[in-house]
Structure 1
Amino acid sequence: MSDFTLEPLFDYPQRQQVLDLAREHAEDVDHDKYSPFDTLRTLGSQGLLTLGRDGSLLPQVAVGFDLATECASTAFSLWAHRSTIAFFDALDLPLPDGLATGETTGTTAMAAAFKDSSGVGEIQVHATHVEGGLQLNGVISWASNLYPGGVVVLPVIVDDAAAGEPTKYIVQTRVDADGFNVKYQKGLLALDATESGFIKIENLFVPEADIMTRDVPGFLQKILAPFLLVQSSFCLGLGAAALNSAADHLDVAQGIFCDEFATIRAEYERLRTEITELAEHPQQVERRRVLQLRLDAAHLATAATRIELATVGGKAYKTNSPSARRLRESQFLPVQSPTEGHLRYELSHAQ
């Protein structure tokens, strides 16, 4: 047995409600019978989707962490939504109606922009100028929170840009806009309820007013910290829940896993300190530190869910057990953008 406890990253008045809501619906979310956004809208009505828009991001990071200790799918949906809010804030643009409360959902389709910036991928949505705006064609390989009426932020390559003009823009559109065609992906290991899918864009019109910025490098620099800090928070929360479960079974096999548990726990404590420090002053975050945090938090979640399986034993192998759910959720982290390969490439080239 261990004295490990699930301590909050930051305490806030609604914390118990956050935990209770996520726990109550975790199994139904996992079976795609309940939408994570039903929980998020409840939290949004209390201002819990817009914490840290100025100053410390730690309260928002703490909400993501707490959600993930009970349901990583809901925490993942929070991350994608909160990132969309951060995109508007980075450009000093007003939030679309309903985004602050979750009545309107937010989708980040920015993976291609980050990959293009790093040289590990390309933007696959092309734009040409037409009267009053842009016409878009192309594909987005993966995005989530794809609910009708939701706001989508994405990068485009402008094929007919004039000489000397930027050729990459960031634009916004809506999930149900004409020409925005979603093929929802189901049968996933986890996250089936997150409304994730592949998108084919055909002759989609984006008015001039929905071109958010033509300074893509500057935009990516501003959004990196909130994007990765909230993402790291749900990796860490998932790992914390697994360690909490494993801690109750360390007497298995005469305590053979105690030393390994202690090593993983020490890494968890280090990452708690790291994310807390970085989230307090997100505007000052060093790029390499936040990239490393995200990679390490994902590795922590993987290691923690593995030792949970090993210590809890056969009952953790049942598909409807919380242990099995956490194990499946952790397997998403190496492929979530930025993927493990992308992060490792970035870190190998970071100064």
Structure 2
Amino acid sequence: MTPAPPTTADLAQVHERFTATATAVDAGTQDVRAGLRWLGDRGLLRPGGDRPTRAGHAVRLLRTLAAASLADAFVAWSQTMVVEYLTCCPPAPDLADVLADLGAGVLPGATALAPAITDVGGGAPVPVVAERTADGWALTGPVPWASNLFPGAVVAVPARTRDGGRVVAVVRLGAPGVHVAPATPLSALNATGTSSVELDRAPVTAGAVLTRDLPAFLGLCRPTMLLTQAAMALGVADGALTSTAGAVAGAGGGPVAGVLEEDLHALQAHRDAVAGDLVALAARLDTAEPAACARARVEALHLVARAVELEGLARGGAGFRAGGASARRRREAAFLPLQAPTLLQLRAAATAAAQHRDR
């Protein structure tokens, strides 16, 4: 039975639950895996349906989560994408239980495809090398950046073969030859299990290889990736604009409040336009142009940068206090342009496409 899409009441409950724990998660005193299990218990991590339905669900869920806590949204995003990879590339029987446990939120999933995006985009090749073995592959090399690297997690890893091919394989933390580095403190999102992995002839069965056609795999999954990343930026912007609206309401009028209100209304209109684009693109995901999904993410990144800046102005010194939601959102927003594909990669791809059209 396919779970029903989340209702407005469901999303309100999500926002309430994750707002209540956001400060503790940010401080590292609350385990984000409890949030994953909470979402999994309610069928929110594996909604079922076709690709547009799944994308629309994920956009709504991740926007709501990010408005409350980007750390929780980010681990849910990673979980969502690994579920999507295994759903788009139906796994061998030995991974069927993995997909079920990911959807239930009891098994963390890490997506480590940033090097693949660089590789397919014409940059450095993926650093992990896959060598044939009697019953599958042996993977060797670094995974420089991934999140959800909790004990026992599964990681989707791109690797290059000796004959110049590219594969995406699923490895499990704790398996032989899989070594996780100690986490390095970050400016934000410290609760997300973010670190690096070193693979030393880590064994992968043939059934744990999702694809041997990396460009086609990314082409299939990239639209959902971009729209869900944009949804997280939209959610952080939602939180900032709600906070700004509260500050304006409490300002008691005057010229400063008038300027804030004018800027707030402009950003709210921008936010609504971006939200409408995400919903529309998700609904026609199978036919949406990849460039349109990329533009939607770029717009969401511009929006969130302006929204947290306005919130800082509206809240003044109070919003600069460490541990407060306004300061947390400013730190969270600084991460969003760095998520692969980065804002620089998106801009470079757009420039290259424009030059190609002009030839």
> 1:104-137: CA deviations, max 9, x gaps?
1111001111111111332010121122121111
Q: What secondary structure sits across from 1:156 in the alignment? A: strand
1:334 matches 2:337: yes
SS in 1 for 2:103: coil
CA contact (8 A) 2:107 2:152 kept: yes
Equivalent residue runs for 1:187-198 within 5 Å: 187-198=185-196
**Preserved contact between residue 137 and residue 204 of structure 2 (Cα < 8 Å):** yes
- For residue 317 of structure 1, the aligned residue among 297, 315, 320 is 320
- Counterpart CA distance in 1 for 2:23 and 2:270 is 29
| Displacement of 1:13 | 4.1
Structure 2 portions without partners, runs of 5+: none
CA contact (8 A) 1:171 1:211 kept: yes
Deviation at 1:254, TM superposition (A): 4.4
Residues 254, 100 of structure 1: alpha-carbon distance in 2 compared, 3 angstrom cutoff: closer
Given candidates 35, 42, 48, the residue that maps to 2:44 is 48
Q: Which residue of 2 aligns with 1:70?
A: 68
Aligned length: 338
Q: In 2 relative to 1, CA 211–298 (structure 1 residues): closer, same or farther, beyond 3 Å?
A: same
Question: Secondary structure of the residue that 2:106 maps to in structure 1?
Answer: coil
1:216 to 214, 217, 229: 214
Q: Aligned ranges for residues 76-87 of structure 1 at < 5 Å?
A: 76-87=74-85
Does the alignment pair 1:137 with 2:140? Answer: yes
Trace 1:43-122 onto structure 2 (pairs within 5 A). Answer: 43-51=39-47, 53-54=49-50, 55-56=52-53, 57-93=55-91, 94=96, 96=98, 97-122=100-125
> Deviation of residue 53 (structure 1)?
4.2
Q: Which runs of 5+ in 1 are unaligned?
A: 1-8
Structure 2 vs 1, CA of residues 95 and 88 (structure 1 numbering), >3 Å: closer, same or farther? farther
**TM-score when normalising by structure 2:** 0.89
Counterpart check, 1:24 vs 2:20: yes
More displaced 10-residue stretch of structure 1: 21-30 or 132-141:
132-141
Computed over aligned residues only, the root mean square deviation of the Cα atoms, in angstroms, reads 1.8
Verify: 1:123 aligned to 2:121, yes or no.
no
Deviation, structure 1 residue 229: 1.6
Q: Residues 303-341 of structure 1, C-alpha deviation per residue, up to 9 Å, x if partnerless?
A: 101110011111100011100000000000121111111
Residue matched to 1:6: none
The answer to whether the 8 A contact 2:6-2:44 is kept is no
Of 160, 174, 191, which aligns to 2:172?
174
Once residues 195 and 72 of structure 2 are traced to their aligned partners in structure 1, the CA distance between those partners, rounded to angstroms, is 17
- The alpha carbon displacement at 1:58 in A equals 1.7
232 and 181 in structure 1: CA distance in 2 versus 1, 3 angstrom threshold: same
What residue number does 1:303 align with?
A: 306
Match of 1:282 among 268, 281, 285: 285
Instruction: Report matched runs for 1:201-280 at 5 Å.
Output: 201-250=199-248, 251=251, 253-280=256-283
Other structure's SS at 1:142 match = strand
Contact kept, 8 Å, 2:36 with 2:106, in 1: the verdict is: no
Distance 2:8 2:243 in 1: 24
Q: Distance in 2 between matches of 1:188 and 1:127?
A: 31
Shift in Å at residue 230 of structure 1? Answer: 1.6
Amino acid of the residue matched to residue 307 of structure 2?
A
- Residues 12 and 59 of structure 1 are in contact (CA less than 8 Å); yes or no, is this contact kept in structure 2? no
Aligned AA (2:169): V
Higher percent of residues as helix = 2
TM score, norm. by length of structure 1: 0.91
Contact preservation (8 Å) 1:170, 1:211: yes
- Measured after TM superposition, the shift of residue 212 of structure 1 is 1.6
Rounded to whole Å, the distance in 2 between the matches of 1:90 and 1:83 is 10
Deviates more, 1:129-138 or 1:12-21: 12-21
> In structure 2, how many angstroms separate the alpha carbons of the residues matched to 1:92 and 1:205?
20
CA contact (8 A) 1:58 1:276 kept: yes
Secondary structure of the equivalent of 1:344? helix
Q: 2:31 aligns with which of 35, 45, 53?
A: 35
Q: Is the 8 Å Cα contact of residues 226 and 297 (structure 2) preserved in structure 1?
A: yes
